[in-house]
Structure 1
Amino acid sequence: MRWWSVPIVLALGWFVFTLTPFWALYDLARAVQAHDADYVERHVNLRTLRLSVIRQIAVAAQSRGETPGAEPRDRQRLADALVALAIPIAESLVTPQTVVDLLDDGRLDSVDPAPLELRPGEAAVTAPPEAAPKPGLRIENLRRLVPFYLASEMRGFRAVVIPVPPDATRERRLRLRLRLRGWTWRLVDIELPEELRERIAQKVAGTGRGR
């Protein structure tokens, strides 16, 4: 083998390796469309996913209820209280069936679908229906993996972050993180879009007021 072929072989090997998580993504998309909760349970790390959702809910709820000029000790107490409230909500939201529900259309039917309450000074922004990308994890054929691949971010050798749908704005898309464990890529984290985090934060705030 000539010396100049070594970097070519290495580059080709890396390229092939970067394709492997997308086979897992394709299988996951097929399971979602088939509403196969058993497949999701086997290929999703629900424990790490729940921890991530707890963190996201607590941060969103804290930002909604944060009081300017509050003492650091009060802020910490608020954060601890919000985490305590978020734990049971995350337990109920993050199940194999609700993961299917979320990946199917980017929404959770168990979360109140009513419009968000806007903060003072905020204005509602509605995108034209024809301009909005199709929500959810939908991969009709292998060719449809190309936009996902181009929009993805490799995080070293064992993790990749994939936006869903890949052509949506950051505020309106999920961000899936897959991690390689052994020879299998597993879904370990879903970064929720801002709108959904706000809806769940409202639910947490409502739970807190009801106590």
Structure 2
Amino acid sequence: MRWTLRISFLLLLAWAIFMVSPFVALYDLSRAVEAKDMDRIVERVNFSALRASLARQILGQFLKTQDLGGLDPQTAAQAGTATLNPVLEELITPQALMDLLDDGRLQQYEGAAIGNGLLIPLRFDAASLEQAWRTFILSETQGFRAITIPLPADRPKGQQFRMTLRLSNATWRLTGLELPENLRKELTKRAAAVTK
């Protein structure tokens, strides 16, 4: 009986550590952004997966605004990807990501912001325990290896960033970032300006 309790306790403890670990990784990323530590940011972000995530969103929004004139959607998507490449090149750099995660703004695009509050750094102290709990409750797991965390949790869904972290080689890395609607529209306008 004693061994059963000990093993059950250890399994429960391991499960609790696993459930909290993506939030610890996100907190570490927030500290790296706050300290402007590019090496830690690069360690915590999978830039190729993040680029694909952002390309899907911006391209989808961009194609909605374009008259395809009977063009095959796949061909239009390929052409759109080539068109959006300059916008994505500016967006997917460690510095641009640091700016975005720091205050929810893209410094190179005036007006492309979701508000005044900071997206990161996250604070998990006694004063923000309710915020941390709400973030934990609203996050969505996708199996054992991925989790999507909405930030800031107290904003409406249309104004939130939805950050997807994936477990890879015992490290949680940012692999996806769903942008708030107004920022996605702003980037689509920039993309449309590039095509003209």
User: Aligned partners of 2:174, 2:182: CA distance in 1, in Å?
Assistant: 22
Q: Relative to 1, partners in 2 of residues 1:8 and 1:64: Cα closer, same or farther, differing over 3 Å?
A: farther
Aligned to 1:151: 138
Encode CA deviations 1:105-151: one digit per residue, 9 max, x unaligned: 11211124279xxxxxxxxxxxxxxxx78341232334543332222
Structure 2 gap ranges (5+): none
Question: Larger deviation: 193-202 or 13-22?
Answer: 13-22
Aligned to 1:161: 148
Structure 1 gap ranges (5+): 116-131
Q: Give the superposition deviation at 1:195.
A: 0.8
SS at match of 1:59: helix
In the alignment, is residue 19 of structure 1 matched against residue 20 of structure 2?
A: yes
Task: Give TM-score scaled by structure 2 length.
Answer: 0.84
Task: Give TM-score scaled by structure 1 length.
Answer: 0.79
Number of equivalences:
191
In the alignment, is residue 36 of structure 1 matched against residue 37 of structure 2?
A: yes
Encode CA deviations 1:67-96: one digit per residue, 9 max, x unaligned: 6xx53x344443222111112321221111
In the alignment, is residue 139 of structure 1 matched against residue 126 of structure 2?
A: no
Among the aligned pairs, what percent are the same residue?
A: 38
Question: What RMSD in Å do the two structures reach over aligned CA positions?
Answer: 2.7
Q: Relative to 1, partners in 2 of residues 1:33 and 1:64: Cα closer, same or farther, differing over 3 Å?
A: same
Pairing partner for 1:170 from 157, 164, 187: 157
SS at match of 1:48: helix
User: Aligned partners of 1:16, 1:36: CA distance in 2, in Å?
Assistant: 26
- Aligned residue runs from structure 1 range 1-211, under 5 A: 1=1, 5=5, 10-66=11-67, 70-71=69-70, 73-113=71-111, 134-143=117-126, 144=128, 145-209=132-196
Report if aligned partners of 2:112, 2:182 keep a CA contact under 8 Å in 1.
no
